Amino acid sequence: MTPEIVESHGVRLRPFRLDDVADTATACADPLTRRFISGMPDPYTEETARWWITEGAPAARATGGAAYAIADPASDRLLGGIGLSQVVPARGQAEIGYWVAPWARGRGVATAATRALSARVFADGVARLELLTHQENAASQRVALSAGFRPEGVRRDANPTRGGGRHDLLAWVRLADDPAGPAPRPLPDLPDGRLTDGVVTLRRLAPDDVDALHRLHGLPEVAANRVPPVAPSREAVRRRCVLAESHWLTGASADLAVLDAASGTVAGGCALVYDEPSTGQAMLGVSLLPEWRGRGFGSALVRLLAGWAFDQVGLARLWAGTRPDNAGAQRVLERAGFRREGLMRGRLPGPDGSRVDSVLHARLAADPG
């Protein structure tokens, strides 16, 4: 059984007390807390908080789990809550979960508390800890990585959605013998959040990019190169923008908005899909809105992204495919140092059940840009 108080990594984990009622109620009624913890009672009142402190938290502990208040070591004020559930002694496994009060966010509280509790339960003999996050909760996913948890996959429809329905959860896992410190990230963040050469700027795709991206992928010539070759719905584009940070954090892809550096206007989109981590290879895709084509933007952004991919990610090879009749895209790649390697017959699904060839271009880390 975990101890009454754990003081480590700059936070104090202690039992909830009745003088935490007001802070607990305020924090658990917060819209962001409620959004990502669908099982939180609604409404969450001081009476709810009082029940949790006097009955709920002690019951968690009595059944083999844990429920701690996260407190400031100096003032002892409540900063959040953290605990263990889904304990399976036969497997040496448990699930860790947390919430942070609005007044304590952005200070590393969740990461510190997760590290502190993880170290404690591993010392007690637990072999494996799971941490489940909402796919749109990138902040919590960053906590998981910082606390040494690695992405393990998607739990489909694993949690009920507030108001009805279900949604997926991402599973993050840390083992007792994993190395100390943050988990390795296949795709690091961009330096200062962006790449630029003064003409083109690349930054991570964001929720505000929905309109521009929906327009871009609705263009017939762009939709024809999608898989499948049809224009996406606005909801599909919204999901792509909302989940871009999560896909980046899990190492699946770096999805970027292409901006005119002078005006900040979105000019298109590009993506690096990490399709073969074991061989150090990734796929590159680029699309520009019509008004920015033929102005050197394409080759400039490909050079920018390739430089980051080789120098910061550590890739050995980038490849890109184009339709045989897309001479413009082929020129963009060749100006950015990519070489034509061949034709992949029938590689992509075409309209009406047909198959479409793809021209393969690639650039190696040692190739000139």
- The residue ranges of every structural domain in the chain are 6-175, 191-364
pLDDT of residue 2: 63
Give the number of other CB atoms < 10 A from CB of residue 43: 11
Share of the chain above pLDDT 90, in %: 89
The top-level CATH class assigned to 6-175 is alpha beta
Backbone phi, psi, residue 81, to 5°: -140, 150
pLDDT of residue 46: 97
Mean of pLDDT values over 316-338: 95
Q: Are strands 93-100 and 166-175 parallel, antiparallel or unpaired?
A: unpaired
Q: pLDDT by residue (tens digit) across 48-93?
A: 999 999 999 999 988 889 999 999 999 999 999 999 999 999 999 9
Same fold, 6-175 and 191-364: yes
pLDDT tier at 368, thresholds 50, 70, 90: confident
Q: Residue 272 and residue 285: Cα distance in Å, rounded?
A: 7
Helix (H, G, I), strand (E, B) or coil at 202: strand
Average pLDDT, the chain: 95
Is the pTM here over 0.85, yes or no?
A: yes
pLDDT of residue 337: 96
C-alpha triplet 307, 311, 312: angle, nearest 5°:
105
pLDDT tier at 3, thresholds 50, 70, 90: low
pLDDT tier at 229, thresholds 50, 70, 90: confident
CATH superfamily of this structure's domain 191-364 = Gcn5-related N-acetyltransferase (GNAT) (3.40.630.30)
